Structure 1
């Protein structure tokens, strides 16, 4: 029966390192940014790019509406598609870290997590000539060492997440974004369909919905801001 106790111990240790740490940090830690300050201000953030099929289309839509956003990019993709990241910078968007590969912190040792951050930082700085100051871990997953290893970065989550990486969630995406357009909201959307668990065509529908949302938002005089241009504050996550 010893193997049963060993298995239970391993499960407990892993859970403490990963899931329990994530829940605790999300609920209790005041280093996590989930809201932005400013009347009528909303921050649009995009994860998992740059993507050769969709990121350019997304940048076109943002440019069309004169909107600045924040991109949490995957370092290995920055190396593959540096011109898309240079365009992000030219267009006035903010660029933050989303690991070097799209891997959960749950499955990273402290050394591996440190390497993910360092490699991402290096390639972003090489391409943009600016040091990234924002960090969002993939899936919003933390481990016991995440906050210690990411000290020096502003850790940013979101106030609203829409499951836009699934095509089945696209039908009412526009309406759900309209319902969430509260002052201080941070939206997270996804401009790549190649991430594990994502549908390949999902970003197409996200971009369509975003275009319509931004058209409607202009009539409401909603102000969109990239993260560096705002004060930041920590509040509870909507819908979490």
Structure 2
């Protein structure tokens, strides 16, 4: 009798063990792009680019970035971590007040390809609630942490009403390593094209850090873009102006 009772129980335990340790399938970029919900760059004839910032808001660097963006009348998209937004709500309010866009970058910033659908949904919902409480608006855009994507991450995001925004493959200067500002500038400007999505970071080190090479590079990047006739806009505005099948941006372009 004991063997008859234990056998199905062991089968169930084995099944869930396999499920929990299975590697999620990762399809090609083209396969995900066909869903219409995953974006690396945007096809547009206008000289538009989207500058994005991950991991903030930072109490020192994000305000400095906002000052530089205002100098050039440039708009950006900030993919914020819920735990940072929670700590620095006044900075996030300023981001929105000055006409920039806010996206979801999860709550805990877990760098893993093995995140479960349940955990990711929890991270997205928690961050959505924090952003909505601070800004009054629920974000529709989501950027996977470290740009890691697979079927679980993509499908969970889409099921939760998100557009997944990655970045142009030649527009990642890896500024999170804090290389010299001129190196960041050269990397971004050397291959700029209409519709590019540029990834930068407004969180380096800790909240007490006082120097950031990304901040130093941003003025030169925006100066170059202006000299070449490029207009930095939010991701949602670029999607909308490209006349693709995306929702009208909710703020501030209605």
Normalised-by-shorter TM-score class: 0.7 to 0.9
Aligned to 1:181: 192
Q: Deviations over 1:45-74 (max 9, x none)?
A: 000000112111111111111100000000
The secondary structure found in structure 2 opposite 1:29 is: helix
Q: Distance in 1 between matches of 2:185 and 2:85?
A: 29
Aligned to 2:109: 102
Extract structure 1 runs of 4+ deviating beyond 4 A. Answer: none
2:174 to 153, 158, 163: 163
The answer on whether the counterparts of 2:48 and 2:231 sit within 8 Å (CA) in structure 1 is yes
The answer on whether the counterparts of 2:181 and 2:216 sit within 8 Å (CA) in structure 1 is no
> Quick one: structure 1 residues 229 and 58, their matched pair in 2 at CA, closer, same or farther if it must change by over 3 Å?
same
Aligned to 2:3: none
| Pairwise CA distance, 1:38 | 4.3
Q: Distance in 2 between matches of 1:168 and 1:66?
A: 26
Are 1:147 and 2:154 an aligned pair?
yes
2:133 to 126, 133, 152: 126
The answer on whether the counterparts of 2:182 and 2:217 sit within 8 Å (CA) in structure 1 is no
1:74 to 77, 81, 94: 81
> Quick one: structure 1 residues 134 and 41, their matched pair in 2 at CA, closer, same or farther if it must change by over 3 Å?
same
Are 1:216 and 2:219 an aligned pair?
no
| Pairwise CA distance, 1:217 | 1.8
The secondary structure found in structure 2 opposite 1:165 is: helix
Worse-matched range after superposition: 171-180 or 116-125: 171-180
Structure 1: give runs of 5+ residues left out of the alignment.
1-9, 234-240
1:205 to 203, 213, 216: 213
The answer on whether the counterparts of 1:164 and 1:206 sit within 8 Å (CA) in structure 2 is yes
The answer on whether the counterparts of 1:105 and 1:143 sit within 8 Å (CA) in structure 2 is no
Aligned to 1:194: 205
The secondary structure found in structure 2 opposite 1:145 is: helix
Structure 2: give runs of 5+ residues left out of the alignment.
1-16, 245-254
TM-score w.r.t. the length of structure 2 is 0.77
Q: Distance in 2 between matches of 1:109 and 1:25?
A: 20
